[in-house]
Amino acid sequence: MHIPDGFLDAKTALATTALSTAGVAYALRQVRIELAPRRVPLLGLSAAFLFAAQMVNFPVAGGTSGHLVGAALVAALLGPSAAVVVLATVLIVQCFLFADGGILSLGANVFNMGLVATLSGFAVYRIGQRLVPGVRGRVAAMAFAGWCSAVLASVSCAGQLAWSGTVAWSVALPAMAGVHMLIGVGEGLISALVLLAVSRTRPDLMGPVTQVQASGRARSFVVLGLLASLGVALFVAPFACPWPDGLEAVAGKLGFGARALAPSAAAPLQNYRVPGLASPGFATAAAGAIGTLVAFCLAVALSRLVVREDSSRKSSHV
Amino acid sequence: MKAVGASRTSGLSPAVKVVGAIALVLTATLTPASHPLWFATEAALVAVALVEARVPLRQFLRRLAMLSPFVAGAALAAALGSHGTDWRVLAARSTVCLATVIVLSQTTSISELLGVLRAARVPNLLLTTLALMHRYLFVLADESARMGRARTARTFTRSRRHAWVTAASVVGQLFVRASERAERVYDAMCARGWKS
């Protein structure tokens, strides 16, 4: 999801850079307050870990393989402000050392993967973990958090591409979100399996590294979260409310709107009316809701599968 | 990593290189679609820097080719959308920008970059984190490769599911080892008189 240079215009690059500079500066300040000096090297080592972890291949179908992005995982393991710093570090090194992601779009990449993905992942993980205590709840929460972080970051990315006028929103959103709903399944699965592996070997490493009361951490999360939501609102809201007629035009031209709405709709779509589904925007929203529900069920199923398997294996092997 | 020999480009002050690269990328970003000649000028500038810096051409082209899926995807999307950018402009612009970033990354070491960032008043904690990350990047990458190899040597991977669990446990173990190493690194830093 690293946006290269040339895909964002100056306005978007400036806005995202300002937002992510503010976010990273605030996260650094919080980490300096919250983190015991002993844990300072852990930030650098975690960034190096994340980089190495991204190189481990997970075989998918037909010889292709996927890899971890890890924003939600790091947020679950280290807490929100430390995760923002770690992700920003990884993205800076990837940009300058490996030319992965552009210089001017570094701000946008830090915003999407450093702020949106980590904070949404952390929020979902915490809520899920609270609702269902125990290892099983933790695994399910992590899997769903990984999926949500990938999808939300891709929506934010689509918003930026549309805001720049590079790709129309009506094309960017379904393409980006659709692909990342699939990628997110892998991301959630890997994150949950890794979390399970860590909690088996060193349960004491679980949980945020910062040593302040939950209230202090909650405040930094709220501030960072507000910043991320502000950005998402800025990039996504202009398109989301009055649905652009571009979509109608494209859907009419290509006929994919018809397929998305109802397979039986006829080709000339000048004045199509599909009962129940008032607008293509609604169809997209419905698709998103169904996708989220499926991902949630998969996460719960995974936790049941892996954790029960775990206890039975323990009794036979240990 | 730095296969680039002594040349005038690598001898330049790192700040000049970073600012120059940002300026070039910014120019390419702002270049209006109606002036294709500007892209040619910018491309020529990058080409001069490329030759001057003696960046290995094969490596450069391989890295450049990795952009094409993104360009192809965006071009397709732009072609489908009624009001997107012309894909040819998009391709020219992003290629010029990527070439600039590749030349920059090939001629600037991370310690030079840290110097530039320090001069730009970037907070110390971020610089420490960047330096430590760069220091342990290849250590941990090697460690994960070793662990992966050891796992493959010990266990026969029967199924895809098994491969995923194995890879995940390698990643989990890597995190545990990185945390333990962080503790030792802190002790070593203190022994050498480090102060935050």
DSSP string, A67-91: ----HHHHHHHH-HHHHHHHHHHHH
Which of B96, B160, B182 is facing A45, going by the closest CB pair?
B182
Domain assignment present for residue A184? The answer is yes
Query: What CA–CA distance (Å, rounded) separates B167 from B144?
Result: 10
Instruction: Report the pLDDT value the prediction gives residue A276, as an integer from 0 to 100.
Output: 45
Average pLDDT over residues B42-46: 85
**Phi, psi for A125 (deg, rounded to 5):** -60, -45
At residue A44, what are phi and psi to the nearest 5 degrees?
A: -65, -45
* Interface predicted TM-score (ipTM): 0.85
List the Cα angle B92/B94/B99 in 5-degree steps.
95
Q: Which residues of B touch A189 (CB under 8 A)?
A: 164
pLDDT band at A212 (very low <50, low <70, confident <90, very high): low
Coil/strand/helix, residue A8: coil
What pLDDT, on a 0 to 100 scale, did the predictor assign at position B80?
66
- Tokens 């730009």: give the residue: B120
Q: Which residue has the tokens 């992510």?
A: A20
Q: Which helix (H) or strand (E) holds A59?
A: strand A58-59
The confidence score (pLDDT) of residue A194 equals: 92
To the nearest whole Å, the CA of B12 is away from the closest chain A CA by 17
Contact B129 A98 (CB under 8 A): no
The pLDDT of residue A96 is 85
What domain count does chain A have?
Answer: 1
The two three-digit tokens of residue A313, written as one number: 């294996």
| Span A164-210, pLDDT tens digits | 887 778 888 888 888 888 888 989 999 999 999 998 888 777 765 55
User: How close A123 comes to chain B (CA, Å)?
Assistant: 22
Which residues in chain A have Cβ-Cβ distances shorter than 8 Å to B187? Answer: none
In this complex, do A52 and B126 lie within 8 Å of one another by their Cβ atoms? no
**What CATH number did the domain enclosing A61 receive?**
1.10.1760.20
Question: Do A44 and B136 make contact, defined as CB atoms within 8 angstroms?
Answer: yes
pLDDT of residue A143: 93
How far apart CA B91 and CA A251 sit, in angstroms, is 25
Enclosing domain of residue A144:
10-239
What chain A residue is nearest to B190 in terms of C-alpha separation? A38
Taking CB atoms and an 8 Å limit, are B134 and A45 in contact across chains? Answer: no
- The two three-digit tokens of residue A119, written as one number: 């904070």
Lowest average pLDDT, out of A149-158, B147-156, B167-176, goes to B147-156
Q: Does residue A95 fall inside a structural domain?
A: yes
Distance between CA atoms of B19 and B22, rounded to whole angstroms?
5
A86 falls within a domain: yes
What are the chain A neighbours of B133 within 8 Å (beta carbons)?
44-45, 47-48, 51, 89-90, 93
Strand partners, A66: A58
Instruction: For residue A297, tell me if it sits in a domain.
Output: no
Q: Do the chains contact at A193 and B28, CB–CB below 8 Å? A: no
Cβ atoms A68, A187 nearer than 8 A: yes
Contact: B83, A42; criterion CB under 8 Å: no
| E runs forming strands in A124-258 | none
pTM, two decimals, is 0.82
Chain B residues within 8 A of A41 when measuring between CB atoms: 132, 182-183, 185-186, 189
Segment A41-97, tens digit of pLDDT? 899 999 999 999 888 878 776 667 778 888 999 999 988 899 999 999 999 998 888
